Amino acid sequence: MNQFANLVGILCVLLLVTGYVWVKARSTGSTASGTDEQEETSSLDRLAAYVKKQLHEMSRAELNDWGMSEEVWQRKVKSRAELRKAIRGCTWGDRNDKRYVKAYIKDLLLKGCGIDAQTIDRYIPFQRRELLTPQDQFEILLYLYTQRYGDEALMMLIETHRLDEPKYSAGGQDRHYEITAEDIGHVFYAEYRELEFREKLDIVVQRVYQQYKGFSVVDEIREQRIDGVSGGVNGIPAFEDAGQPVRSGMLPDWESSGETEDADGRATSRLWESVWIFYMGKSIRLSFLGFGNEAELKRVCQNIYKYNLPGQLTEANGYKVNEMKDGSRVVVVRPPFVESWAFFVRKFDLRSAALEQLIEGVNAELPIELLKFLMKGSRITSITGSQGSGKTTLLMALVKHIYPSYTLRVQEMSFELNLRRLYSTRNILTFRETEYISGQAGLDLQKKTDGTVNILGEVASDDVAAWMIQMAQVASLFTLFTHHAKTFRDLIESLRNSLLKTGMFRDERIAEMQVVSVIDFDIHLRKNMSGQRYIEKITECERQVRGYRERVVLEYKDGKYMSVEPISPRMIEEMAREMTAEDSEAFTLFVDRYWREEIGA
């Protein structure tokens, strides 16, 4: 009996010990699991997933009217409709909708996630600066500068710390523009100050928003007063093997073999490590920023062009050109049309659309006054130059000096001139090509809309070039257009070839004479390596019996605008005839002031 009691006692002790060990193990495992879960919960990705789920439910779930008064129910219906509209509109670049959605996100983070002054550093380690990533540092800097400078924050950040100065490779030959993680680190430690909880929360809300509905790391950059932003235009693209696209992270043999430099001697990068800004005529790579993975870059490309529902970007239709809510132009491309997903946002600063702001330098009053008189004199004028040289912005500024009584009809590929925003009281109507209406059909229709002045955003196809020549001859008082020609001779030959290709003429000489009979002046713009933009030449097309002569009336040389040959007497007479008496008198004095000796000779 005693032995049996002892055996039972021993078994009980063993069971108690086993139970204790099991409970302790469960407790330890639970604690570890809880820690992992807490760490996962503390991640920004977890916050973004939570916000996405909550906003989806709030905007889509059916309302239960049980126990609600009609007034409360109507209020909830209206609130849900406003949230749906804002969620849709914020992806189009609408700032008001963006603020509305961010306000909802802030409320969800405070009430649903319990974020407060003690827990917010779990998401971005504001108090431990050594743990902040370059993206964290940049977004904090941009936030601080935005408090002071608004849309000019990035511009002021770049100018204050001279971040747009060129960099050189080890050999000193490779000149490029880049803002690196080291640059951002230096600026951050020079500029950083202790943030209040409210400011930290704003930064976390923006990070969550840009991962959920915004445009990832370029979301705030896109709204800044710069010339443009692009992504997906450098780095190792997704290669294909036996017809199957390679997954993100898979590299070609030479890369996976351990090589870390490209042919330029610079560190290799993936295609999603590709953010560029266009600033003051310079393409600057933000090498410290990236989209994280190819899927995020693809998400941005699939959403950034959606304003006004322009149709789907598909494998069969591999590109889209559209505008955003703020008037900026967006171009999106995708494989297999190109080697990787990419987007280009081009912004046109309406506040800078004035000749006095665009044209600077010694004797800048000469080209400024001449351009004004070309518009008042109703001259058919081309604006030529390379991409990024400022053709569109100059065209916007020139319209100001067309007599307000004239009606304007505009043809563009996308609505980027924004002339009705600039000149809201004038008679202006803009047409563009759509999936169902060709640019040619739009140009034909303009003949029936009482247009005095025709403006073509860009003469980029043979059909449009041929129609422009016809229109300039009979359909309007005068025409303005842009073209990518490198020289005046190239412009004439390109337009001539377009007439031949469309079958309007078969004789090369006759086609060229038709072009020459139309063009009055060419304004050629240039952008140098440092990003400076200027008017290289203004040329009159002087018609002669057996052709034409390039009459350079103005030239930019040695940093100064200089008058060269005088405007021909025939052109002076025609221009003065189109002006008011007051402007005609001022034009005569202008010509006399700058070309007195040449005219006298």
Lowest mean pLDDT among 149-163, 167-181, 453-467, 492-506: 167-181
110 compared with 14, residue with greater pLDDT: 110
Distance separating alpha carbons of residues 339 and 396, to the nearest angstrom: 34
Helix/strand/coil for 426: coil
Angle between helices 95-111 and 197-212 (to 10 degrees): 110
The per-residue pLDDT for range 45-58, each reduced to its tens digit, is 889 889 888 888 87
Q: Which residues pair with 342 in a beta bridge?
A: 333
- The 3-state DSSP class for residue 297 equals helix
What is residue 326's predicted lDDT score, i.e. its pLDDT?
A: 84
Q: Which helix H or strand E contains 261, and what residues bound it?
A: none
pLDDT grade, residue 10 (50/70/90)? Answer: low
Tell me how far the alpha carbon of residue 187 is from its chain's centroid. Answer: 25
Is pLDDT of 504 > 50? yes
Please provide the DSSP assignment of 469-491 as one string.
HHIIIIISSEEEEEE--SSHHHH
**pLDDT (tens digit per residue) in 291-328:** 999 999 999 999 999 998 888 899 998 999 888 888 88
When pLDDT is cut at 50, 70 and 90, the band that residue 288 belongs to is very high
Q: pLDDT tier at 15 (50, 70, 90 boundaries)?
A: low
Q: What percent of the chain has pLDDT over 90?
A: 49
Q: Retrieve residue 343's tokens.
A: 């987007």
190 pLDDT more than 80? yes
Closest to 456 (Cα-Cα) out of 421, 490, 416: 416
Per residue in 235-246, pLDDT (tens digit) is 887 554 334 444
Of the candidate ranges 130-139, 260-269, 352-361, the one whose mean pLDDT is the lowest: 260-269
Helix, strand and coil in the chain, % to nearest 5? 45, 15, 35
Tens of pLDDT along 61-72?
A: 665 655 567 777
How far apart, in Å, are the Cα atoms of 522 and each of 12, 440, 481, 492, 501? 103, 24, 10, 10, 23
* The pLDDT of residue 506 is above 90: no
Q: How far is CA 355 from the centre of its chain?
A: 23
pLDDT for the residue numbered 267: 72
When the pLDDT of each residue in the chain is averaged and rounded to a whole number, the result is 84
pLDDT level of residue 9 (50, 70, 90 thresholds): low
How does pLDDT run across 368-419, given as a tens digit for each residue?
999 999 999 999 999 999 888 889 889 999 999 999 999 999 888 777 788 8
On the question of pLDDT at 216 being above 80, the answer is yes
Q: Are 358 and 450 in contact (CB under 8 A)?
A: no
pLDDT exceeds cutoff 70 at 7: no
pLDDT level of residue 563 (50, 70, 90 thresholds):
very high
Least confident of 14-23, 279-288, 426-435, 506-515: 14-23
Please determine, for residue 479, whether its predicted confidence score (pLDDT) is greater than 60.
Answer: yes
Query: In which element (H, E) is residue 310 found?
Result: none
Q: What is the pLDDT of residue 244?
A: 43
Mean pLDDT to the nearest integer, 15-31: 46
Residue type, 100: Y
Instruction: Note the pLDDT of residue 243.
Output: 40
In the structure, what pLDDT confidence band is assigned to residue 458 with cuts at 50, 70 and 90?
Answer: confident
Please report the pLDDT score of residue 443 as a whole number. Answer: 73
pLDDT of 249 higher than 60: no
Q: What percent of the chain has pLDDT over 70?
A: 84
How many Cβ atoms from other residues are within 10 Å of residue 514's Cβ?
A: 18
Is residue 138 within 8 Å of residue 289, measured between CB atoms? yes
CA of 236: how far to CAs of 10, 100, 250, 290, 507, in Å? Answer: 69, 38, 10, 13, 48
Q: What average pLDDT score do residues 588-592 get?
A: 95
| pLDDT for residue 470 | 78
536 vs 435, residue with greater confidence: 536
What pLDDT does residue 238 have? 57
- How far, in Å, CA of 99 to CA of 102, rounded? 5
Q: How many CB atoms lie within 10 A of CB 505?
A: 18
153-161 and 134-149 are packed helices; what angle lies between their axes, rounded to 10 degrees? 110
Cα first-last separation, the chain: 140
Q: How many CB atoms lie within 10 A of CB 62?
A: 6
- In DSSP notation, 402-435 reads S-TTS-EEEEESSS-S-HHHHSTTS-EEEEE--S
Mean pLDDT is lowest, of 16-20, 269-273, 366-370, for 16-20
Q: Give the pLDDT band of residue 24 (cuts 50, 70, 90).
A: very low
Rounded Cα gap, residues 537 and 523, in angstroms? 6
The model's pLDDT over 391-405, given as tens digits with 9 standing for 90+, comes to: 988 999 999 999 999
